[in-house]
Chains A and B, each alone.
Chain A
Amino acid sequence: MTKETMISRRAFNKAALALSAGSVTAATPLRFSLGAEALKIGLILPYSGVYANFGEGITAGLEFALKKRGGQIAGRPVQIVKGDDQLDPKVGSEVAQKIVTRDNVDLVIGTVGSNVLPVLQKIATDNNKLLIVPTAAGNATTREHCHPLVFRVSHSNWQMTAPAGPWLLKRGPKRVMTMGMNYATGKEEVNAFAEEFKRGGGTIVDQKWPGLKELDYQAYFADVLAQKPDAMFVFFAGSNAVEFVKQYAQAGLKSRVPLYGSAYLIDSTLLPAQGPAADGVITSGHYAPTLGNPANKKFVAEYKAATGRDADMNAMHGHDSLEVVALGLEKTKGDLSDKAALSKAVQSVRFESPRGPFRFSRARNPIQNIYAIEAKDGKLNVIETIQRDVEDPTEACKA
């Protein structure tokens, strides 16, 4: 069944035989007369498992943004269909199949895990649906796997850390050791930094890749002291990040080998558990709740008032995902049938995100500022802008 016949059949029912159904030409004007037809958004995220807080945070931010718009996008009421992909490609595939084909949503927002995204992208694009990616940051999504209907709102892994290479070099350290969780995201983020650091003339003395299930990093620290790098650049996330930051401080390393990393190392959800161990650690990233721009101040205050929760990166990603959809669909007057026009409309979305100015690159990844964020007394402070308008390399994107 094609998209056109589905739409026209629904229209047919609602219009109560006002027009003969089946032809696209008949359906299009009809749908315009039915401006109140609900826009169905499939929201596929991990709501259980280790990244459950990502799913919850994104959803809260998205619902907040929707409420601010009166529950409507381009004049259409919005209906959200949620699915839990459990950070598992197999589960994600089933959930996506159901939501995309059976519930027949108009567009999909998802997901967090780079392992689930490829199956989600395949199902969404095979069915000609717009896909907004709120978090999953694998470089390939907006490089060799880029697609006219797939837009990423968060960032690529490269984008988070590559600008930190030349920046750190300017700050002083010439010999740096890196450490990163041994999986795709860890490798992409650490290697992006390492390559740019070397390109600028710095030396990477050693690279360590602890496994995801590793509990204790102490064994690596003796080697850090022996090799005496000028600084350490790392990628850890979630509970591993808490363990790493605490152990690094406990080992007395923080004062000897300053710690830098990707913003995932210390986010506002981890900071309470890391406590003073995180003080003075500087990370590079695209967002911190303490950013001083007016859009962020407004977002943080309103979000707190509306939800009682402190804004964080996930809430921002949820908020911006909805904004991108809303601003894009306003340009098409709520029409999603012409995919080329839809892609063009979303592509041209520009707005003041809480993170700073937001626009899409040719490969449909955000062009955005990357900041240096320092943890201090339980707060994340933006100490400077590492680089403005950072764009992930687009050469690999052919679509």
Chain B
Amino acid sequence: MENVGSERVDLLSARSHAISYRAVAVMEISTFLIQVLNGIQFGMLLFLIASGLTLTFGVMGIINLAHGAFFMIGAYLVFQFTRHWGWPLPLAFSSAVAAVVVIGSVVERSVLAPLVGRDHLDQVLVTYGLILIFDELAVVFWGKDVQPAAIPSLLRGSLQFGDIFVYPVYRLALTVAGLLCALGLYLLVAKTRLGMIVRAGSYDRGMVSALGINVDPVFALVFGLGAALAALAGILAAPILSVSPGMGDKIIIIAFVVVVIGGIGSIKGAFVGALLVGLLDSFGKVLFPSVSSLLIYALMAFILVWRPSGLFGKAT
């Protein structure tokens, strides 16, 4: 630590010496790099959730607070499949995602579809009710205790470069998985016909149906995709976080901040917003610990003042 610090200080003019030394002491290169990694990793987790949120909001115009429940159910199902039923991980993993898609579709058809076009307050109330129901169901099935979720043996351990640069392998894997999902989503939305309809639908739903495209199945598909991403996020996050009733409630609020920052309905916005929030959160905790929990909300407020529809949102 001292080596890197003094080396840097030599490069600085005498005047800014004191201040810069402090800055260097607080954050040297490897710490900086680790925090960048942390920020990207947390950002990717947020992106997986926020992308589903922003899609359903953008395409269907529905505020789905229950999105966090899909996150939770995904984690619980993998726990159930592997711990209680002894399924191999890949099977448990894909079954859980599939099951959440089914649950999501049922919810969409039965509860959310009738709410399309209704007042947002109605949607918030109903989907908040769904959170309570799903959280309580988790308690009924699995109890109030925190459940274990192990890291697959392949991804255990941590990488070490030098003295300070120690990083868990699993978190790297999580980051890569998040980036791959982001790339896949980008290709889907930017390069395919479905993506075109989704983009058009988020821009002007009425016009899309006027052009003779049946939006209902597209809605269902988008909703299912969003649910699958949330489940995936829950499964990936389970070994880091804890599998407990209400585990989705903490993260869904931050995911909403991401959606608002990025611009409602924009996948690109969700990606940039997630990275911004992730990085701000990581650096904030170290540099400004006393106000770190406020920082992302301050960022949101600032962006709303500057660009009321978010970074990549359509102007209203």
Contact = CB atoms under 8 A, between A and B. Distances in A.
Contacts of A242: 146, 242, 244
Given A208-B289, A250-B170, A251-B158, A225 B144 contact: no
A204 to B, nearest CB: 15
Nearest to B136: A48
A1 interface: no
Given A53-B145, A219-B281, A243-B240, A251 B28 contact: no
B146 A273 contact: yes
Given A239-B146, A243-B242, A275-B148, A225 B166 contact: yes
Interface centre among A52, A239, A252, by most chain B C-beta atoms within 10 angstroms, is A239
A216 B171 CA distance: 11
Given A220-B285, A239-B242, A243-B241, A225 B250 contact: no
A246 B164 contact: no
A250 B151 contact: yes
B284 to A, nearest CB: 8
Interface residues of B, number: 47
A293 to B, nearest CB: 27
Interface in B258-311: 281-283, 285-286, 289-290, 292-293
Contact of A219 (B239, B253, B282): B282
A222 B281 CA distance: 14
Contacts of A247: 240
- Taking residues whose C-beta sits less than 8 angstroms from the other chain, chain A's interface range is 35 or more
Given A215-B250, A219-B35, A210 B285 contact: yes
B130 interface: no
B95 interface: no
B160 to A, nearest CB: 7
B240 A252 contact: no
Contacts of B107: none
Interface string B139-165: 000001111101100000110100110
Nearest to B158: A252
Contacts of A220: 285-286
Given A222-B38, A252-B160, A53 B144 contact: yes
A269 B289 contact: no
A251 B240 contact: no
Contact of A246 (B30, B41, B240, B286): B240
A251 B166 contact: yes
B170 A222 contact: no
Interface in A190-228: 208-211, 213-216, 218-220, 222-223, 225-226, 228
B242 A223 contact: no
B42 interface: yes
Interface centre among A211, A242, A247, by most chain B C-beta atoms within 10 angstroms, is A242
5 cross-chain pairs, A with B, having the tightest CB-CB distances, nearest first: A252-B158, A222-B34, A242-B242, A273-B146, A219-B285
25 contacts: A53-B144, A209-B289, A209-B290, A213-B253, A215-B251, A216-B42, A218-B282, A219-B286, A222-B31, A222-B38, A222-B164, A225-B163, A225-B164, A225-B166, A226-B28, A238-B146, A239-B242, A242-B242, A252-B166, A269-B146, A270-B146, A272-B148, A273-B145, A273-B146, A273-B148
